[in-house]
Amino acid sequence: MSKKIAFLIADGMGDWPIAALAGKTPLESAHTPHMDALAREGSVGLCRTVPEGLPPGSDIANMALLGCNPAVFHTGRGPIEAAAQGLELAPEDLIWRCNLVQVSQWSEAGIMVDYSAGHIDSDTAGRLITLLRKQLGGNNGLDFHAGVQYRHLLTQSGRAQGDEARLFIRPPHDILDQPIGEDLQRFQQAPALWEAINKAAKLLADPALNPSQANAIWPWGQGKPLRLPFFAERFGMRGAVISAVDLIKGLGRAMGMTVAEVPGATGYLDTDYAGKVRTALDFLDQGDFVFVHVEAPDECGHQGSLENKVRAIEDFDAQVVGPMRAGLADQGCAMLIACDHLTPLVKRTHVADPVPFLLWPGISAGATANGFGETQAASTGLILEQGEELLPWILRSFKV
């Protein structure tokens, strides 16, 4: 068996049964002929990607799927995305993920309206982050760093051991349509940060400066700089990651993997699926392992859109799994398909339930299924309780 592996991730694809779908999940009701065909020939099961006691974030789950134990290595969401940007930071610096968000009002009576500020485009967001950096950067060691769409970074020099590092601020996608008061009270425990957040809200409230829905910043997921074991040294494979989002790029960069850029990758329904597939197949001509991440199902889950989530899953099957399956035919390359976590439409946020996975060709007798979905994955009895063991288990089974 060749050691080449294509690992295809549909972020947040898993879900719970929905009455409107006759008790099926979006994955089970979606038209996914390619994944279903692979399930009939491969191994299907469940994998627990979120260790007990840790929040069910994409940062934790994808770190586990890449073979690193989050309980050992995870320092926060912000540090992972800082690694993607290649920021040069000192070990004592504190790094926050910083969303541009829309709230009903900037007060303790406010509600989190949209964690993405209407899926603000990167150009507009970049101009706003540049504005904040000019007006607020440098004060008390704070700085802003532009990312993609609503996803940015805020850094605090020398504060990795400060009071800010111990604050628990809820991710904005976890509190849609909920009051923000308890988080604002926690922000107030860090005076320099609180001052910057309030000044940012005032700047963003000026329509002459800001034409978008973004009317606040939301720092969360803070931690010290990330250090991970190198993928090639651990697994003896040359690997790459392909994604629109800095989270995945940061994990790849921190592990010494190739971070392959796809200019049309957006992290949403309009992403360049064909570009991701071409890039993955090109890399596998010389490399051994590629991690292809698609964000759209998760975004649709956070929006609570059943129609769009089903569409995102069907697009993943038709425009990623199908072409990868065809492109790798007769090349002895394994395909591993999973989601990192569930994003149930009824909750509009992540849960820590085990995720369905599919490996083709199969390596576990009796683990085939008549299709790929949550129910089928649970029915085989194959379950890995530690997500970071999925990849090593597969490599051992293939004797790579």
pLDDT digits (tens, 9 = 90+) for 211-229: 999 999 999 999 999 999 9
Domain-located, residue 202: yes
- pLDDT beyond 70 at 400: no
Is 376 a member of any domain?
Answer: yes
Alpha helices, DSSP H, located in 115-163: 122-136
Q: Report yes or no on whether pTM surpasses 0.85.
A: yes
Q: Are residues 377 and 234 in the same domain?
A: yes
The tens digit of pLDDT for each residue in 270-318 reads 999 999 999 999 999 999 999 999 999 999 999 999 999 999 999 999 9
% residues pLDDT > 90 (the chain): 94
**Model confidence band, residue 148 (pLDDT cutoffs 50, 70, 90):** confident
337 located within any domain: yes
Q: Residue 349: helix, strand or coil by DSSP?
A: coil
Residues 231 and 336 in one domain: yes
Both 151 and 209 in one domain: the answer is yes
- 258 and 178 share a domain? no
pLDDT at 86: 92
In the chain, % helix, strand, coil (3-state, to 5) comes to 40, 20, 40
Domain total for the chain?
2
- Residue 115 counted as domain residue: yes
For residue 22, name the pLDDT band (cuts at 50, 70, 90).
Answer: very high
Identify whether 80 is part of a domain: no
Shared domain for 293 and 384, answered yes or no, is: yes
Last residue of a domain, one of 190, 223, 256: 223
Among the candidates 159, 190, 223, a domain finishes at 223
Q: Is 379 helix (H, G, I), strand (E, B) or coil?
A: helix
Asked, for residue 82, whether it belongs to a domain, the answer is: no
State in Å, rounded, how far the first CA of the chain is from the last one. Answer: 8
Q: Of 179, 200, 223, at which residue does a domain stop?
A: 223
| Residue 1 reports pLDDT greater than 60 | no
Residue 330: the pLDDT is 81
Tell whether 237 and 120 lie within a shared domain: no
Residue 256, in any domain of the structure: yes
Q: Are residues 178 and 217 located together in one domain of the fold?
A: yes
301, 58 Cβ separation under 8 angstroms: no
Q: Which domain holds residue 209?
A: 90-223
Burial 308-325, CB ≥16 within 10 A → b, else e: bbbbbbbbbbebbbbbbb
Is there a single domain that holds both residue 201 and residue 265? no
Q: What is the spatial distance between Cα 224 and Cα 277, in angstroms, rounded to a whole number?
A: 34
If asked whether residues 267 and 394 sit together in one domain, one would say: yes
Q: Report pLDDT digits (tens) over 349-383.
A: 999 999 999 999 988 777 899 999 999 999 999 99
Say if residue 136 is in the same domain as residue 205.
Answer: yes
In a domain, 57, yes or no: yes
pLDDT at residue 332, as a whole number: 85
Nearest alpha carbon to residue 122 among 216, 207, 220, 244? 244
Q: Using one digit for the tens of pLDDT, what is the confidence trace for 3-20?
A: 799 999 999 999 999 999
Q: What is the model's pLDDT at position 331?
A: 85
Are 384 and 237 in a shared domain? yes
Q: Domain holding 20: CATH number?
A: 3.40.720.10
Which pLDDT does position 2 carry in this prediction?
53
Q: Which pLDDT belongs to residue 3?
A: 75
Chain mean pLDDT for the chain? 96
Cβ atoms 141, 158 nearer than 8 A: yes
Same domain for 281 and 393: yes
